[in-house]
Amino acid sequence: MKDFSKELSFKTSRSSGAGGQKVNKVETAVTVLWKVDASEFFNEDEKVLIQLKLKNRINADGFLFLSVSESRTQLMNKNKAIEKILEIVNKALIVPKKRTATKPSKGQKQKRLDNKKKLSDKKENRRFRF
């Protein structure tokens, strides 16, 4: 897991929703910004992969945005934002293994045919005969 938290920049804003006496004067919501193209931690292939998988979260300027306003303190929101953005980017870097098609074994084929024959015989025995 790569830690590129030194490249992150932060903006603060007022949290939305119901609040108390401090809601209109304290900026506790944190928005984390990361310029994907300018990153020195990732090579070009990884940057392309990140941009492809996270294209819905990256704006026209090439910044990856993430806002957090879960906690009542700015510091906790900042820590959660760092944690979440690291997790999102590291998940985007995972390339799934390609599935290789396999054929059924002889035993599996024979078992399937035996079951078909058994079912066929059972239905045949239900028929009314004179």
C-alpha dihedral (17, 54, 100, 108), degrees to nearest 10: 10
pLDDT at 127: 85
Class at the top of the CATH hierarchy for domain 5-92: alpha beta
The torsion angles phi and psi of 99, rounded to 5 degrees, stand at -80, 130
Evaluate if residue 1 carries a pLDDT over 80. no
Mean pLDDT (the chain) is 86
Task: Kindly report, residue by residue over 44-90, the tens digit of the pLDDT.
Answer: 898 899 889 988 988 888 889 899 888 888 899 999 999 999 999 99
